[in-house]
Structure 1
Amino acid sequence: MIREFKTKDLDDVMKIWLDTNTNAHDFIQKNYWQDNYDEVRRMMPEAEIFIYENNQTIQGFIGLMDDYIAGIFIDSGCQSQGIGKALLDHAKKVHSNLSLQVYKNNEGAVRFYVREGFSLVKEQKDENTGEIELVMAWVK
């Protein structure tokens, strides 16, 4: 089931956020994510967040700022089960165009977004990590 974020979800969402980022981005120092944890936690309620829940357990979420996808995060035990696609499909129903940034070295995520109809807009360097990121866009 996909539903809107509630304040009581914050602890579970942040655990998934931290775990997913450290696992998916092993090319970035783990402390980068830990150092940004408090700021992201503070910003979460300002975003449009959709939760994927099964049996009252949060298995993933998508965070949006207007038409920008800040990220799709899936619990490590629930990945490759269609949850990310379901969340993205939900965002596509609510928005007529979407954009995002994804690290080039996160090859699985890049393949996912290409498969879901996103096109490369440009490559740029993330000044915070030094990593190359791809700016991608989707239009209905």
Structure 2
Amino acid sequence: MTARGLAVAKGTGVRRKAFIAEDDPSIRKLLTTLLHERAGVDVVGAASQSTDASVWLLEHGNSWDLALIDLFLEEGNGLTVLAGCRVRKSGQRMVVVSNFATPDMRRRCAFYGADAFFDKTTELDELVSYCKSLGSSTVPSA
């Protein structure tokens, strides 16, 4: 059986492609592993600064389905990245993953174009469920 046949046999089907904007290398690694192993998502790019993240997302518009954005980066912030990607393909999702999950910040992120917001200290299971749902016809918002 081919590698493609094995993937289908295991039920993974088409894998989603994600970009991560996160300044902490250990959190980037955790998210990469979590998405790959539990949500069927492959990380195709990452950045620790808002300018680098924005440039990568715009230059690789056909290379990602999901962008996970932290609010506090080495340079700039996640709101800038969100605002820079307001116009994107209908299937592309911008998700904030931050430990600064106040009700006001959730509203601000939604205003700047976030499709969902997850607290990275308490809502990683919900993030995985959200990512798994991206293959379905309806994508929930959080």
Length-normalised TM-score, structure 2 = 0.35
Compare the two structures and name the one with the higher strand fraction.
1
